[in-house]
Amino acid sequence: MRLLLGFCAALLVTAGLVPAAEAAESRPIHSYADAIRETAWVETGTDHDHDGRPDRVAADVIRPATRVRVPVILDVSPYYACCGRGNEAQKKTYAPDGTPQQFPLFYDNYFVPRGYAVVLADVGGTNRSSGCFADVESGNAVVNWLNGRAKAFDAPEGGSPVRADWATGDVGAIGKSQDGATAIGMAASGIPGLKTVVPIEGVADNYAQLVANGAPLAAPENTGSAFTYNERAAQLCRPFEAELKARAGTDGDYNAYWQSVNAAAQAGKVRASVLIAQGFGDGVVRADQFAVYWDALGRAGVPRKAWLSQAGHVDPFDLQREQWVRTLHRWFDRWLLGIRNGVEQEPAVHLETAPDHWTDVRSWPPSAVPATLRPSGDGTPGERGSGTATVVDDPAVGREQWATQASDARALFTGTPLATPVRVAGSPSVTITASSDTTAARLGVALVDYGPAEVRNTANYGSGIKNLTTRSCWGSSSAADSACFLDTATDLVPAGHEIVAAGWADLGHHASLRHGHPLVPGRAYTMTFTLSALDHVVPAGHRLGLLLGGTDGQLFDPALPPLGDTLTFDLARTSVTLGLTNPEH
């Protein structure tokens, strides 16, 4: 009887016949096999590829075969043809007549039977879309179409109009990495109809991702998303890409372009709720992206929830599969179906404190006591710094080598073994006072936990997970689209050290990120910046180490010109400030 009542409640909610508040959750009442699969080419209102026709974004739709309007889960991505999505790099597939067959990931398999439509849209210029890489614009065009504010057609050129008269207009944008960055950008636009976003390892501040405090992380010709373009866009979008690079500049200055793509700075425009996932071991999208966005959302009063792990660039689906699917289900039910399930009133943060050890906490970062450590010439950090340290810039050496190998490219300062464990959480701040013997210098700083441990394998951009041979199924399958995915397990490795936070900067931007200046050789300059966010417990018996260096060869593009400088750090005026707390708090 309880199962029957649940079935009926879900059916009535989907049909709009009873208030959503009276149902516990949506149920799988619709046929996946009979779901409608179609493509709508949505006009964006632009002509970025200058072919004389409005750009059209290909939106592949799978939706229940019902006369009742349904909400939409939307993933806007450039990767559906070139690289695939998810741990198994799934790509879209199509029948000979162009009808979509495989929808990557589990969203369609799981949610379509529960009364949702899933729309996977190709960013402009990728897969079956025309135009160029304007990701937020591409996603917003689809949201506008779903709300009757944009035109769509049943062909990439010409064709008959297609209306989304099956959609409620309520949209949740989700995605990992670039897809997550797109969802964050869409939310920052304040577009009506976007009710929630679920960015997974997504960038919120493009400047901080591509330029480290004035120091470009890659040569201009190696940035951008041109590798995702379809053959047509690869030719037509060269002027578009050149214009973007010109606006971004090559001097590392924070300018109007970078301000326009800083979604964290526009959190006050967000109308959607946010469920965000981040790994503190992610070297692709560093945790400082999460920290600055999370803080901005809090100041703006945006409903928010976070999943924080010690893993790398990983979807929570491959960390805690059952719990993540359950959380996502309840989150979409709440914000897209209006089911009052209380998910937004539960602890805001699901936190992995150590490999496979999870807890729920009300807020992040925790209340902490600030502690300032100053390096000394004798190689130890303490309350007072003294002396100097000299490093020779070497772009061939990276921070992992700094941590384990004596080198002129870095200076290492380690404390005494800890008598009790200490939790370090938040965004450490570092102040550097240094001089260069040339007119330019890059700075690299890392915080290291020294001591034997088993840690997630995230060094050198590892994910911290490994695939198993078994599969688990999440939803309904078809001959072309399986709901069964490889199971995963934690990838642990023995380690004598773990880099837990790092940061980089251009010393010429010491006075302002908006304007860099050549250095006067031999003159000391002071610069303060934050390291990547962390939440890490340093066990008793371990030592906390501070690394000071120049160019981090693990991060900076080898195509960048070597600076050939020697840096001299004034240790009395160099420090790092950490947030320390009891590991049980």
Pairing of β 429-436 and β 524-530 = antiparallel
Q: Domains along the chain?
A: 2-361 (3.40.50.1820), 369-581 (2.60.120.260)
Active-site position among 77, 129, 138, 177: 177
Query: Would you give the distance in Å from CA 268 to the centre of its chain?
Result: 19
Alpha-carbon torsion (97, 101, 107, 112), positive or negative: positive
DSSP state of 336: I
Going by C-alpha positions, the residue among 151, 134, 147 that lies closest to residue 191 is 147
Task: Report the predicted TM-score, pTM, of the whole model to 2 decimal places.
Answer: 0.94
Query: Residue 22: its pLDDT value, please?
Result: 44
486 to each of 308, 454, 481, 483, 503, how far by Cα in Å? 22, 24, 14, 10, 35
**Residue 381: per-residue pLDDT:** 74
Q: 466 CB contacts (<8 Å, ≥6 apart)?
A: 488, 489, 490, 491
Active site residue 386: no
- Given 75, 205, 282, 318, the catalytic residue: 282
For CA atoms 11, 14, 20, 25, the dihedral sign is positive
541, 518, 62, 502: which is closest to 286 by C-alpha? 502
Q: Distance between CA atoms of 147 and 168, rounded to whole angstroms? A: 8
C-beta separation of 314 from 464 below 8 A: yes
Instruction: State the burial class of residue 471 (Cβ atoms within 10 Å of its Cβ: 0-12, 13-18, 19+).
Output: exposed
Cα dist. 402→266, 381, 391, 516 in Å?
A: 37, 17, 11, 27
Whole-angstrom distance, CA of residue 533 vs CA of residue 535: 7
3-state secondary structure of 577: strand
Helix or strand run (H / E) with residue 117: strand 117-122
Phi, psi dihedral angles at 309 (to 5 degrees): -120, 175
Half-sphere exposure of 400 (CA within 13 A, CB side): 9
Please give the pLDDT value at position 439: 98
Residue 44 CA to residue 56 CA, distance in Å, equals 6
Helix and strand numbers (H, E) in the chain are 11, 30
Residue 401 in tokens = 């080598």
To the nearest 10 degrees (0 to 180), the angle between helices 135-146 and 178-189 is 60
**Annotated catalytic, 360?**
no
Q: How far apart are CA 81 and CA 92, in angstroms?
A: 7
End-to-end CA distance of the chain: 44
- Of 313, 329, 497, 509, the active-site residue reads 313
Q: Which of 128, 369, 172, 347 is nearest to 273 (CA)?
A: 172
253 is catalytic: no
Per-residue pLDDT of the chain (585 residues; tens, 9 = 90+): 333 323 333 333 434 333 444 458 999 999 999 999 999 999 999 999 999 999 999 999 999 999 999 999 999 999 999 999 999 999 999 999 999 999 999 999 999 999 999 999 999 999 999 999 999 999 999 999 999 999 999 999 999 999 999 999 999 999 999 999 999 999 999 999 999 999 999 999 999 999 999 999 987 666 667 789 999 999 999 999 999 999 999 999 999 999 999 999 999 999 999 999 999 999 999 999 999 999 999 999 999 999 999 999 999 999 999 999 999 999 999 999 999 999 999 999 999 999 999 999 999 999 999 999 899 887 777 677 789 999 999 999 999 999 999 999 999 999 999 999 999 999 999 999 999 999 999 999 999 999 999 999 999 899 999 999 999 999 999 999 999 999 999 999 999 999 999 999 999 999 999 999 999 999 999 999 999 999 999 999 999 999 999 999 998 988 888 999 999 999 999 999 999 998 876
| Cα(527)–Cα(487) distance, integer angstroms | 46
Q: State both tokens at 197.
A: 């976003």
Report d(CA 243, CA 246) in Å as an integer. 5
User: Phi and psi dihedrals of 260, rounded to 5?
Assistant: -70, -20
